[in-house]
């Protein structure tokens, strides 16, 4: 006797067609979720890269602006009245001409970097970018006594708030004259007359260094091993171009009349009253999912990324900075 077992319809399984439809719907949901995740990841990466570019650009402008605003500041001493003490030795790797460490013909100077090197001191810069030379003193003065204490003895030896560093270069001066010397060779000024103040001297040469990731760098005057040298400081990665225009006040009315390219340098560098800076930044590494076809206008010419450079994000920043110390000196006729 055959027994036939009947399964209720409510307990029956999926048909083949139903299983295929369920599988397709599951794949579609998985694909959609994956697409959303990948897009969110790309968006997050783009936001992060853009934020890094913006932050690096802001920091670079902050460094340059602070230095440029202090260009030509030599305390109360006119730069034309600065003499060089015999104790100062030659500077290893020094620049030539107006960019030389102890040349005070000008406190600011700009030059385009060429393929042959520039000023005998820059041999690792990116061609067709600009270098910027700034000379000034740092606002950390030394005195021979506490200037707030009228009764403190004044012996002409700089010792307040601390002694000078032996191998650092200082400008010791007043409104009459100044002398540049090592900290342990600053001459004692005679009693009577206006007291002198000793200021740490600073030379800075900003440029774009040709590294695997182009970098805003500067050379600074320092003592190293057995003598003075221009030492490299790498500041900010991803800055691939520094270009500059100079502001001229031709009618001496206190306002800049025109910003000019440095291909036609001014007759007198101390006559410029403002600097217009262009900084082109790029991401540290390429992004295969990003293509940059923009053209960037710079004082050195338009820049359009080549085929192997199109996958880098870029940001162009521009800022105008007044040369307040040079402007004041010009108004005073010094």
Is the backbone peptide bond immediately before 201 cis, with ω within 30 degrees of 0? no
Exposed / middle / buried, residue 304 (Cβ in 10 Å: 0-12, 13-18, 19+):
exposed
CA distances from residue 204 to 207, 216, 255, 274, 321 in whole angstroms, order as listed: 10, 12, 27, 18, 17
Q: Distance between alpha carbon 89 and the CA centroid of its chain, in Å?
A: 28
Exposed / middle / buried, residue 148 (Cβ in 10 Å: 0-12, 13-18, 19+):
exposed
Picking from 282, 269, 281, the residue whose alpha carbon sits closest to that of residue 323 is: 269
pLDDT-derived band at 8 (thresholds 50, 70, 90) equals low
Lowest mean pLDDT among 27-31, 113-117, 266-270, 328-332: 328-332
Q: Distance between alpha carbon 161 and the CA centroid of its chain, in Å?
A: 30
Reading across the β-sheet that carries 239-248, which strands appear in turn? 258-261, 239-248, 272-282, 314-322
pLDDT the model gives residue 17: 78
pLDDT-derived band at 103 (thresholds 50, 70, 90) equals very high
Is the backbone peptide bond immediately before 102 cis, with ω within 30 degrees of 0? no
Side-chain-side CA neighbours of residue 130 (13 Å): 25
- Provide the whole-model pTM: 0.85
Overall residue count recorded for the chain in this entry: 334
pLDDT tens digits along 222-263: 999 889 999 999 999 999 999 999 998 877 777 888 899 988
Higher pLDDT, 157 or 102: 102
pLDDT tens digits along 107-121: 999 999 987 667 889
- The rounded percent of the chain whose pLDDT value lies above 90 is 53
Bridge partners for 265 per DSSP: none
Exposed / middle / buried, residue 191 (Cβ in 10 Å: 0-12, 13-18, 19+):
exposed
pLDDT tens digits along 155-174: 778 889 999 999 999 999 88
Picking from 326, 279, 282, the residue whose alpha carbon sits closest to that of residue 60 is: 279
């Amino acid at each position: 006797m055959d027994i036939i077992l009947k399964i209720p319809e409510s307990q029956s399984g999926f048909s083949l067609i139903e299983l295929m439809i369920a599988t397709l719907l599951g794949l579609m949901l998985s694909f959609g979720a994956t697409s959303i995740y990948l897009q969110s990841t790309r968006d997050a990466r783009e936001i992060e890269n853009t934020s890094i570019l913006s932050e690096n650009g802001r920091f670079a402008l902050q460094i340059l602006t602070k230095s440029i605003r202090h260009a030509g500041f030599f305390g109360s001493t006119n730069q034309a009245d600065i003499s060089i003490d015999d104790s100062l030795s030659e500077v290893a790797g020094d620049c030539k001409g107006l960019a030389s460490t102890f040349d005070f013909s000008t406190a600011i100077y700009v030059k385009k970097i060429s393929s042959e090197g520039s000023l005998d001191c820059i041999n690792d810069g990116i061609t067709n970018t600009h270098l910027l030379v700034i000379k000034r003193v740092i606002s950390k003065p030394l005195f021979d006594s506490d200037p707030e204490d009228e009764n403190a003895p004044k012996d002409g030896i700089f010792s307040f708030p601390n002694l000078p560093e032996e191998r650092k270069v200082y400008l010791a001066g007043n409104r009459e004259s100044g002398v540049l010397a090592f900290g342990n060779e600053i001459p004692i000024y005679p009693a009577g007359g206006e007291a002198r103040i000793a200021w740490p001297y600073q030379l800075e040469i900003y440029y774009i260094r040709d590294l695997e990731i182009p970098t805003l760098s500067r050379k600074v005057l320092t003592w190293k091993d057995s003598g003075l040298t221009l030492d490299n400081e790498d500041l900010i990665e991803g800055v691939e171009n520094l270009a500059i225009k100079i502001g001229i006040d031709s009618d001496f009315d206190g306002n800049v009349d025109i910003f000019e390219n440095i291909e036609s340098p001014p007759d007198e560098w101390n006559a410029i009253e403002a600097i217009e800076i262009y900084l082109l930044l790029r991401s540290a590494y390429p992004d295969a999912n990003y293509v940059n076809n923009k053209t960037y206008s710079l004082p050195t010419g338009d820049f359009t990324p080549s085929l192997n450079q199109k996958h880098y994000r870029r940001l162009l920043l521009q800022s105008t900075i007044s040369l307040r110390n040079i402007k004041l000196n010009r108004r005073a006729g010094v």
